[in-house]
A and B are shown apart, each in its own frame.
Chain A
Amino acid sequence: MARIDLVDLAHSYSGNAAAAESFALKPVTMTWRQGGAYALLGPSGCGKTTLLNLISGIVTPSRGKILFDGVDITPLSTQKRNIAQVFQFPVIYDTMTVGQNLAFPLKNRGVPRAEIDRRVAEIAQLLDLTPFLARKALRLTADAKQKISLGRGLVRSDVAAILFDEPLTVIDPELKWQLRSKLKALHRALDLTMIYVTHDQTEALTFADTVVVMHDGRVVQSGTPAELFDKPAHTFVGYFIGSPGMNIVPAEVSGREARIDGHTIALNRSYDRLPPGAKIEIGVRPEFVDVAPPAPGLLAADIERIDDLGRVRFARVRIGDARFSAKVPPGFSAPGNAAGLVFDPSHVHVYADSLLVEGTA
């Protein structure tokens, strides 16, 4: 169990001399508290697995340090780091039974027999693997194998953190839910630091207290699921999280007003000091834009289609060349394709060069 500090950590697979822009992981400094559930979320190739492998010690960083409880463990090998990792595909030892698989990490560390038996029984109980202890692990299903991989991490009482590298990839959809709630329950029961890599926002948002969103080798935002939803710090977070993603359109912003397509939208805060020359955009989630019958004073739009998601309906609309998603209120019926958009000013954010700008009240 440990607090994890990343200090100016960066990595390039082509060595330290490579151009900073080509780094698989650009310098990052952050602290992960002991007992937290973290998710590293981002599309393929964003550097999340690199970051995970740096923490587990499979990859040695080109730059920077990793501290576990304040102790620099950067030069230590994977064995000495006391971490456990669950991989994308279940790793089990073919010739061993489930029990022997679970005992393997302890046996390698020379733990006494009685202690091994006690821990294995305890962990098997926790993971509902007790009935299978004497079975050959090879013959179990993918989700049971994945539980064994996890169990091999959990049997070690000294484990500092458990790392998950897209562990549900090969699991059937209906079992994904079960396994994910199992992980959540284990996290609550065992007070372990868990770091979970995924490109699936549902997995990340349901599993983690803190979601770290990565994009192009950079950490773009780290926060609770609610923060990511309400106040995306980067346009990437805006459209990557949420379904449909955030609307981001170029706009002219001055003071408390934003102008799109010649139409003015009121803003809740004042933006007087925007960086000159920056690309200015406004972002608003579809949940906070309503379509309404066209009326003077509303931003005019053409409805392209309406998607019914069951609980809510979203309209795909066009404003000039820009595409937009907006909520369709219950009872709305359009006379034609023309509609007006009603914005909730408290949820309209301003971005300069893709980064969130905090306005002044």
Chain B
Amino acid sequence: MDKTVNQKAWFLVLPVFLVVAFSAILPLMTVVNYSMQDTFGNNQFFWNGVGWFKELLDPSTDLGERFFASLWRNLFFSAVILAIEVPLGIVVALSMPRQGWSVAACLVILALPLLIPWNVVGTIWQIFGRPDIGLLGYALNNIGINYNYVSNEFDAWATVIVMDVWHWTSLVALLCYAGLKSIPEAYYQAAQIDGASRWAVFTAIQLPKMNRVLLIAVLLRFMDSFMIYTEPFVVTGGGPGNSTTFISIELVKIALGQFDLGKAAALSLVYNLIIIIVCWIFYTVMTNAGAERRPDKGVA
């Protein structure tokens, strides 16, 4: 086969290469550059090697302490919202109608929270929870529950978690609903004939058939909640104290509040690395699960 050698083809790739370089590679390299240096005013840079990283990963330093505290907060937050949103999303998907006009109505209602911008969600809940003018805060205080997300840690956490559940359970529910809809009717008929109870139908058919979409749902929700910034920032500003300061909020404080660009750069690289590693683990688990599903030929 004769292939025409035409080096000019590279020019077709050039625009993409330039865009990616300017939008992703150069900024990332800048961050790497910052993470290795200490900066003072007047653009004076001093080489610091891996100093910032050492400090970041050592909990006995101020930076390390703040990093680990916010990391645990973030992990705890992700665990709690996954533990609520996944089962709740499944229940919502299971109780949705299967046909008729009500399907469209349910889908629209479920999609609504997903369409609201993050900081609008934050503002809604910020006002909703205020004891003086917010419907929720006012009502709770009036029935004798002393609720104040500004001063009480537990109330602040509860508000942030409920807000996230309100905002994102729909996503899990919609994914599960899609998974449920793809199960052929024959499975339900066979289960009926086999005398399966409602619970057995759930564990033997629906849950196994949903496990792919559930993995995607868990992945998306973990990533999003691990990177959460806007909503808690708008509602609690990371307070009271540091009790709802997640990694991203801490990062902004260090980078823009204290203008410690070196520390912030080191933190953002580690943050990025954690997310990439978790993504990779999920990807591997999902593709392995996919490989198991293919029947091996020549058996039986």
Contacts and interface: CB of A to CB of B under 8 A. Distances in A.
Interface of A: 56, 58, 77-79, 83-85, 87-89, 91, 93-96, 104-105, 108-109, 129, 132, 135, 138-141, 143-144, 149, 152-153
Interface string B281-300: 00000000000110111011
B209 to A, nearest CB: 7
Contacts of A141: 295, 297, 299-300
Interface in B254-298: 292-293, 295-297
B293 A108 contact: no
Contact of A140 (B184, B195, B299): B299
Given A138-B295, A141-B295, A144-B299, A108 B194 contact: yes
B299 A84 contact: no
5 contacts: A87-B186, A138-B295, A140-B300, A141-B297, A143-B300
Interface residues on B, range: 20 to 34
B205 A93 contact: yes
B133 interface: no
Contacts of A129: 300
Nearest to B197: A108
Which 5 A-B pairs rank lowest in CB-CB distance, beginning with the nearest?
A144-B300, A108-B195, A91-B190, A105-B194, A87-B186
B208 interface: yes
B53 to A, nearest CB: 44
B196 A104 contact: yes
B204 interface: yes
Contacts of B189: 56, 58, 78, 85, 87
| Interface residues of B, dominant DSSP | helix
Contacts, number: 72
Contact of B208 (A58, A95, A104, A139): A95
Contact of A139 (B184, B193, B299): B299
B45 interface: no
Nearest to A175: B300
Contacts of B204: 93, 95-96, 104
Contact of A79 (B193, B208, B293): B193
Contact of A105 (B195, B208, B292, B299): B195
Contacts of A85: 189-190, 193
Contact of A88 (B186, B293, B296): B186
Contacts of B194: 104-105, 108, 152
Contacts of B91: none
Scoring A56, A87, A140 by chain B CB atoms within 10 A of each residue's CB, the highest score goes to A87
A37 to B, nearest CB: 20
B187 interface: yes
Given A79-B192, A85-B189, A93 B300 contact: no
B193 A84 contact: yes
B84 interface: no
B83 interface: no
Nearest to A88: B186
A296 to B, nearest CB: 62
Nearest to B187: A91
A87 B190 contact: yes
A91 B186 contact: yes
Nearest to A149: B190
Nearest to B192: A78
B105 interface: no
B200 interface: yes
A190 B225 CA distance: 59
B180 to A, nearest CB: 15
Contacts of B187: 91
Contacts of A138: 292-293, 295
Interface in B193-218: 193-197, 200, 204-205, 208-209
A83 B196 CA distance: 14
Interface in B162-183: none
A141 B300 CA distance: 7
Contacts of B296: 139
Contacts of B292: 138-139
Contacts of B192: 58, 77-79
Contacts of B200: 104, 108
A56 B191 CA distance: 13
B208 A94 contact: yes
A30 to B, nearest CB: 23
A56 B193 CA distance: 8
Most buried by B among A56, A85, A93, A95: A93
